[in-house]
């Protein structure tokens, strides 16, 4: 194996490239990215960058010297447009092709958009800078979607003096992921600060001067941010022979086909720790999976399943949210420390007879670390939480 191509130059792709070099691979290594910028960190886009606390240069994941030391054939500002598995070739938007002996797909996701005209999204550095420049005091901002991204942006805009309307189709924001009770705590944080939060509001299109709801109402706004989820960037793989289904479908080793691996937001892989296929859009998972895919590619006879305990965090107003595990599809939520009413607590999540997740709000990191170990070791719900919690 003398030619490895990594498609996707963000956290997962960069981690894969660095791991290949660190683990001794000294052949040709091509890193392809559709943005013209060197790899940069995305979580600060909706926080420090949007608020103005950081400037764009502070987001770079590595210095130019760091990248130079990897000996990369760096193809930035050019998207991959096709893959030919039979002859081991990646096709690029500039008409060129890149041959490979092994491939890592790390093309991430793109934002869903609304029909109509206008509306910001928040995925790239350019997106964040464009929105930041419009968030001046008194600006009326409509945020469509009260998930973590929408909530973070709403919190920043509020601090900047904007009038924020937060529109969410569900009765309780994030209830599908974190449970109704925890979702209500996060809801209260918006309402206490005067955010115009409208649940059960379905937006059908972005229009001049705001957004249109399903009932015909026009919600007036100077700026609109669409934060209604994302789609994995797999269109370029059409007809390639790879299995695609809400991401690049992989096994527990992150392998999608012989000598083809996937990592990061675009990868749907079987996580044996939870016994299910999952696709995780979290920064830490992207880096960890990029490293795991690279190691498994280099050492096929010593491959290890990628079985992480996913981790994510969110900063909203003065509230820090941290979570370990897989919270979706849970059967029960139990507060194991603190109290929901004062907004400082740890909640544990059960699926079947075991602990599968834990979420902390307003608590120090050490308050939730034990739960990561409990999830990783497969501790039963009864052992972790107690009989009384099960009965309640």
pLDDT tops 80 at residue 390: no
pLDDT tops 90 at residue 362: yes
* Mean pLDDT over the full length of the chain: 95
Span 52-60, mean pLDDT?
95
Span 320-332, mean pLDDT?
94
Tell me the pTM. Answer: 0.95
Span 375-386, mean pLDDT?
91
Span 189-203, mean pLDDT?
96
Residue 386's pLDDT is 73
Nearest-angstrom CA–CA distance, 345 and 368: 10
| Nearest CA among 198, 190, 229 for reference residue 214 | 198
Tens-digit pLDDT profile for residues 160-175: 999 999 999 999 999 9
- 385 pLDDT band, cuts 50/70/90, is confident
Tens-digit pLDDT profile for residues 15-51: 999 999 999 999 999 999 999 999 999 999 999 999 9
- 1 pLDDT band, cuts 50/70/90, is confident
- 74 pLDDT band, cuts 50/70/90, is very high
pLDDT tops 70 at residue 240: yes
CA dist 215 to 202, 204, 220, 258, Å? 8, 9, 15, 51
pLDDT tops 60 at residue 72: yes
Q: Which domains does the chain have, with CATH numbers?
A: 3-110+230-302 (3.50.50.60), 113-226 (3.50.50.60), 318-391 (3.30.390.30)
Tell me how far the alpha carbon of residue 156 is from its chain's centroid.
19
pLDDT tops 70 at residue 389: no
Are 337 and 345 a contacting pair, CB within 8 Å? yes
Residue 309's pLDDT is 97
Span 201-216, mean pLDDT?
96
Q: CB neighbours (10 Å) of residue 272? A: 12
Give me the percent of the chain exceeding a pLDDT of 70.
Answer: 98
Tell me how far the alpha carbon of residue 187 is from its chain's centroid.
21
User: Strand 73-76 vs strand 223-226: parallel, antiparallel, or unpaired?
Assistant: unpaired
Tens-digit pLDDT profile for residues 147-157: 999 999 999 99
Max Cα-Cα span within the chain = 64
Residue 392's pLDDT is 33
pLDDT tops 90 at residue 96: yes
Nearest-angstrom CA–CA distance, 152 and 154: 5
pLDDT tops 90 at residue 388: no
Tens-digit pLDDT profile for residues 102-132: 999 999 999 999 998 889 999 999 999 999 9
User: Strand 3-7 vs strand 102-105: parallel, antiparallel, or unpaired?
Assistant: parallel
Nearest-angstrom CA–CA distance, 267 and 279: 6
Phi and psi, residue 99, nearest 5°: -80, 155
pLDDT tops 70 at residue 391: no
Are 351 and 330 a contacting pair, CB within 8 Å? yes
Give me the percent of the chain exceeding a pLDDT of 90.
Answer: 94
CA 48, 50, 51, 53 torsion-angle sign = positive
| Nearest CA among 57, 54, 61 for reference residue 33 | 61
Span 60-69, mean pLDDT?
94
């Amino acid at each position: 194996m003398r030619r490895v191509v990594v498609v996707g130059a963000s956290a997962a792709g960069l981690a894969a490239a660095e791991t290949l070099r660190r683990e001794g691979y000294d052949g040709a290594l091509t890193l392809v990215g559709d943005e013209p910028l060197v790899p940069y960190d995305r979580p600060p886009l909706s926080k420090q960058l949007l608020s103005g606390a950081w400037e764009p240069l502070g987001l770079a994941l590595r210095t130019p010297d760091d990248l130079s030391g990897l000996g990369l054939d760096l193809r930035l500002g050019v998207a991959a447009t096709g893959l030919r598995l039979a002859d081991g070739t990646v096709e690029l938007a500039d008409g060129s092709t890149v041959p490979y002996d092994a491939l890592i797909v790390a093309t991430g996701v793109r934002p869903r958009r609304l029909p109509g005209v206008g509306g910001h999204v928040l995925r790239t550095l350019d997106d964040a800078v464009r929105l930041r420049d419009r968030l001046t005091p008194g600006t009326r901002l409509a945020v469509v979607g009260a998930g973590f991204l929408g909530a973070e942006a709403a919190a920043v805009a509020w601090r900047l003096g904007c009038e924020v309307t937060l529109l969410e189709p569900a009765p309780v924001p994030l209830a599908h992921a974190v449970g109704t009770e925890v979702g209500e705590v996060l809801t209260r944080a918006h309402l206490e600060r005067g955010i115009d939060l409208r649940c059960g509001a379905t937006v059908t299109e972005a229009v001049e001067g705001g957004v249109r709801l399903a009932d015909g109402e026009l919600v007036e706004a100077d700026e609109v941010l669409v934060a209604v989820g994302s789609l994995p960037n797999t269109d370029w793989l059409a007809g390639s022979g790879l299995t695609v289904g809400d991401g690049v479908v992989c096994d527990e080793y992150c392998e999608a086909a012989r000598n083809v691996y996937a990592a990061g937001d675009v990868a749907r892989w079987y996580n044996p720790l939870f016994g299910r296929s999952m696709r995780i859009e979290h920064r830490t998972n992207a880096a960890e999976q990029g490293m795991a895919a690279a190691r498994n590619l280099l050492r096929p006879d010593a491959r290890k399943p990628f079985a992480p305990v996913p981790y994510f965090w969110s900063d909203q107003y003065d509230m820090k949210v941290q979570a370990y595990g897989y919270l979706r599809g849970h059967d029960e939520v139990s507060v194991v420390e603190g109290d929901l009413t004062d907004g400082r607590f740890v909640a544990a999540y059960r699926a079947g007879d075991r602990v599968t997740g834990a979420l902390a709000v307003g608590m120090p990191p050490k308050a939730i670390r034990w739960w990561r170990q409990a999830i990783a070791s497969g501790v039963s719900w009864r052992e972790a939480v107690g009989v009384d919690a099960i009965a309640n």
